[in-house]
Amino acid sequence: MLTSWVRAMMRQYELVERVKAYDPHADEALLNRAYVYAMQMHGQQKRASGDPYISHPLEVAAILADLKLDDATIASALLHDTIEDTSATRADIDKLFGEEIGSLVDGLTKIAKLDLVTRKAEQAENFRKLLIAITSDVRVLLVKLADRLHNMRTLEHVRPEKRKRIAEETMDIYAPLAGRMGMQWLREEMEDLSFRTLNPEAYGILVKRLGTLRRSNKGLIGEIKSALKEELTKSKIKAEVISREKKPYSIWRKMERKQISLEQLSDIYGFRVIVKKPGDCYAVLGTVHTRWRMVPGRFKDYISTPKQNDYQSIHTTVVGPRHQRVELQIRTERMDSVAEYGIAAHALYKDSTNGNGRDHGQKKSLALTEESNAYRWLRRLVDMLLEGDNPEEFLEHTKLELFHDQVFCFTPKGLLIALAQGATPIDFAYAVHTDVGNSCVGCKINGRTMPLMTELKNGDEVEILTSKSQVPPAAWERIVVTGKARSAIRRANKEALRVQYGKLGREILTRAFDRVGKSYRKSTIERILPRLSQNTVDDVLTAVGRGELPSADVLQAAFPDIPRPEPPKRRVVKRNDEGWFGLSKAIGLKFRMPGTGNRKGNKGSEGIPIKGLRSSLPVKFTEHGGAVPGDRIVGIMTPGEGITIYPIHSEALSAFDDQPERWIDVRWDIDESNTDRFPAQILVTGINEPGTLAQIAQTIGESGGNIHNVKMQHETEDYTTMLIDLEVWDLTHLNEIISGLRARSVVSTVKRAHE
C-alpha cells in the first residue's frame, strides 16, 4: 500500500512537468496547491481498488494534460470530487482557488439530497445540471469525460451490479456525447470498455478473432501502405499514410446492424492519408481513384459538408492490391486533430496581461474558436431540452440527439439541414422552425409528393406544405427520430389539450353561473384568483375542464353569500323513462326526448354541445358501443381526462350513483352535414345454419352501416348469439338496421348490447 501512495506522490511531480512542457507559463503553485488540498480533503479515503483516493483525480488531470489543457482545468480536475465527497464547500474552493475554479468544480458536483422517486430521475436531474454547467464553460465537459474515462478504466474493482449500471450509462450518454463533441478516441475507448463489461463473451470472441486476423493480414497491410505511398510520390504529393484497426465495439455494432459476419466486413482495416492543405485532399482523391477502381456508394465528402461536431474528411473505398477493398480517410493535419480531439482541439490560451507583457500571476482561460459547431450544437440542444417538463423527458431527448448518425438534406432555397439518420420530413420541418413543424400537413421530396413518414436520404430536397389550422397529431411523436421534433410535438399537444380543457371549463362555468342567476365574466374570475390558488383565468378554466377544480368551488369563491347546495342523495332507479328522468332531475340535468330523425338529439337543452367524435372539447365516448346522436346522453367528468359520454340508460352509470358532482349536462349538436360515424354494439341471435352471418352482413350493408367487428358470444345446437360492433350515423340509422335484421327469418332477436 505504501508503494501505491508513493507512486501517487510521484505522479504529482510528473503531472506538473507534463503541463509545463506544453505551457511553460502554467501556474505551478496553483497546481501544487490544488493537489495538496485535494490530498488533505480526501485524507484516508480509498477507492474500490484499495488505492488512495487521490490517485483518481491525479489520473483525471493526467488525461487532460495529454489534451494540453490550461492550468485552471488541470486544477479543477484535481479538485473535482472535493465538494461532493468531502467536507469542502463551494465557498471554500472560491476562497482558496478563485471563483473560476469554484464554478468548474461546482458544475461537476452531483445534486445532493435529491427528493426523487427513481434512480432514473436522479440520473436525469444530475445530467441536466451537468449540461447546464457545460454551456457556461466547456471545460466542465472535458473534466467530466476524463473523470468517466478513468472510472471506466478501473471498473473491474466495482461491485457487479454497480459496474453494469455505470457501463450502461457510459454507453447511453457519455460515449455518444464525446462523439458529438468530436472526441473520437475518447468515444471509442469508452464504448470498448462498456462493451467489455456489458457483453464480455462477445468482446472476448471478437478480440481473439481480430488477433488471428491481424497476424494473417500483417503483410497485406504493409503492401497496401507501400502502394499508396508509391502512387502519392509519383503524383508529387507529400502525405503521411497511417493504418488503423476498427475497435471491437464498432465491429460488433456494424455486424449487428447489417446482420453480417466478421469475414464479410470490408473496413476492419482502414487507412488515413494526412496532408498539409485542403487542396491536397482532393489531389490525393484524384490519384487514388485514377489508380484503383472506386466502390460505388462509398464516397462521402465531409470537407465541403462538415458534420455537426466539426468533423472534416473525405471518405472513399477502392478495390486495391490483391483485389482487397481499402477504406481511405483523407484529411489535413488540422482536420485530423479535430477528428481525434474534437472541441479540445479548438482550445486557445488567451492571456490576460497588465500592459508590460506577462505577469507572474496572470489568469488564463480556455475558450473555443468561432468555428466550434459542436459546442454551438450543444448549446442549442440544452436550450431546447430544458423546455421539457420533467428530467426523464430531458434525458430521453438527449439520448435521441446523441445516438444517430447524420443525413444532409436541402430546402428548396438550397439551405443545408443536418438531421439524424432515419429522419422524416416531419423532423426536417421542425429543424427548419418549430412553427413550420407544427403547421406541417404534407411534403414534396425532390419535387414529388411523398408521405410524411418517408425516410430521408442524403441530398434530398424537401419542401414542407403547411396549414395554419393544423395541430401536430400525437402519433407523430412515434414517427420522428430527433429530440427537437419529439419535444415540440409533445409541447404542441399539451398546449392543444390545455386549450380544449380551457374551452370545456368555460362551458361548465358559464352554465354553473347561469343556474344561480349570474353571468360569467372574466373579471369575476380575476378577482378571486388568490382564493382559488390559481395564477391566471386560463389556469382556472383548465382546472375546471380537467375536473380538478369543481365549479361549485368557483361559485362559492365568487359569490360567498349564495348558499352552497348540498349534493342530493342519489337513489338507484329502474331503467325506464320516468326513472331516468327522475334521476336527471335529482342531479339538475335537463333532458328532452329526441325527435325521430333529428341528429341534434336534445335540441333546446342548455347542456354542453357535443359536436361529434373530433370535438374541440376533451370529450370521449364510452367503450363498447356508446351513445349515438339521438340517444339521451349524460356526461361523466373524470379528473385529468375530460368528459365521457354515456347513453342515459347505460348500466355503467350506476358506478357514479354516489358522485353527483361528476354528472355534466350535455346535449347533441351534430350538423346535418357531419360525416362522422358513431360506434354502437348490437346483440343478434340467429339460427345456427350456413348463410346466417352472410344475410346479417348483407342487411347491415344495404342499410349503409359498417361492421367493425363480430364476436360469437354464445352458441347452441340451434342458435348463435353474435356481438356486432357497428358504425352508424345516428339513432334513426341504427333503428333502421335493427328493424331490417328483425325482418330476416334467420334472426331470432336483436337488441343494443347495453340494453
pLDDT tens, residue by residue, 8-42: 444 678 888 999 998 899 999 999 999 999 999 99
Q: Identify the weakest region by mean pLDDT among 58-62, 288-292, 516-520.
A: 516-520
Which residue do the cell numbers 342458435 mark?
719
For residue 594, what pLDDT is reported?
34
Q: Which residue has the higher pLDDT, 382 or 326?
A: 326
Helices and strands (H, E) in the chain, number of each type: 29, 23
Q: Is the pLDDT of residue 57 over 70?
A: yes
Four-point Cα dihedral 353, 358, 359, 364, nearest 10: 60
Q: Give the integer Cα–Cα distance in Å for 709 and 726.
A: 7
For residue 428, what pLDDT is reported?
94
CA 446: distance to chain centroid? 28
Q: Is the pLDDT of residue 665 over 70?
A: yes
DSSP output for 612-665? -SS-SSSEEE-TTT---BTB-EEEEEETTTEEEEEETT-GGGGGGTT-GGGEE-
Q: Is the pLDDT of residue 659 over 50?
A: yes
Q: Is the pLDDT of residue 232 over 80?
A: yes
Structural element, H or E, at residue 712: strand 706-715
Going by the DSSP 8-state scheme, the letter that residue 594 receives in this structure is P
Confidence of residue 402 (pLDDT cuts 50, 70, 90): low
Count Cβ atoms within 10 A of the Cβ of residue 290 and give its class: 0-12 exposed, 13-18 middle, 19 or more buried. Answer: exposed
For residue 112, what pLDDT is reported?
47
For residue 383, what pLDDT is reported?
64
Q: Are strands 416-420 and 364-368 parallel, antiparallel or unpaired?
A: unpaired
Going by the DSSP 8-state scheme, the letter that residue 461 receives in this structure is B
Q: Identify the weakest region by mean pLDDT among 369-383, 435-449, 564-578.
A: 564-578
Q: Is the pLDDT of residue 588 over 90?
A: no
Q: What is the mean pLDDT of residues 663-678?
A: 75
Q: Tell whether domain 205-345 is in CATH 3.40.640.10.
A: no
Q: What is the mean pLDDT of residues 690-710?
A: 89
List the one residue out of 429, 184, 209 whose CA is nearest residue 311. 184
Determine the topology of domain 2-198 in CATH. Hypothetical protein af1432 (1.10.3210)
Confidence of residue 630 (pLDDT cuts 50, 70, 90): confident
Q: Count other C-beta atoms under 10 Å from residue 480's C-beta.
A: 28
For residue 572, what pLDDT is reported?
39
* pLDDT tens digit sequence for 505-525: 888 888 888 878 888 888 888
Q: What is the mean pLDDT of residues 252-258?
A: 81
Confidence of residue 348 (pLDDT cuts 50, 70, 90): very low
For residue 270, what pLDDT is reported?
85
Q: Which residue has the higher pLDDT, 556 or 268?
A: 556
Q: Is the pLDDT of residue 75 over 70?
A: yes
The residue from 59, 66, 81, 84 that is catalytic is 84
Q: Which CATH superfamily is domain 678-752 in?
A: ACT domain (3.30.70.260)
| Residue 548 annotated among the catalytic residues of the structure | no
* pLDDT tens digit sequence for 419-438: 877 899 999 999 899 899 99
Domain boundaries, the chain: 2-198, 205-345, 493-558, 577-668, 678-752
Share of residues in the chain with pLDDT > 90 (%): 23
| Residue 85 annotated among the catalytic residues of the structure | yes
Q: What is the mean pLDDT of residues 659-667?
A: 77
As given in the structure block, the three cell numbers for residue 522 are 372574466
Q: Identify the weakest region by mean pLDDT among 285-294, 435-444, 654-663.
A: 654-663
Top-confidence range, 139-153, 368-382, 388-402, 599-613: 139-153
For residue 363, what pLDDT is reported?
39
Q: Identify the weakest region by mean pLDDT among 111-125, 452-466, 552-566.
A: 111-125
Q: Which residue has the higher pLDDT, 53 or 398?
A: 53
Q: Identify the weakest region by mean pLDDT among 389-393, 707-711, 734-738.
A: 389-393
Confidence of residue 110 (pLDDT cuts 50, 70, 90): low
* pLDDT tens digit sequence for 293-330: 998 888 989 998 888 778 899 999 998 877 778 889 99
Q: Is the pLDDT of residue 587 over 50?
A: no
Q: Give the integer Cα–Cα distance in Å for 427 and 482.
A: 6
Mean pLDDT over each residue of the chain, to the nearest integer: 79
Q: Give the integer Cα–Cα distance in Å for 330 and 279.
A: 11
Q: Is the pLDDT of residue 234 over 60?
A: yes
DSSP lists the bridge partners of residue 645 as 621, 635
Confidence of residue 96 (pLDDT cuts 50, 70, 90): very high
Q: Is the pLDDT of residue 385 over 70?
A: no
The residue from 23, 85, 396, 736 that is catalytic is 85
Q: What is the mean pLDDT of residues 134-160?
A: 87
Top-confidence range, 200-204, 250-254, 612-616: 200-204
Q: Are 501 and 542 in contact (CB under 8 A)?
A: yes
* Residues in contact with 300: Cβ distance below 8 Å, sequence separation at least 6, in sequence order: 314, 315, 316
Q: Are 685 and 719 in contact (CB under 8 A)?
A: yes
For residue 76, what pLDDT is reported?
93
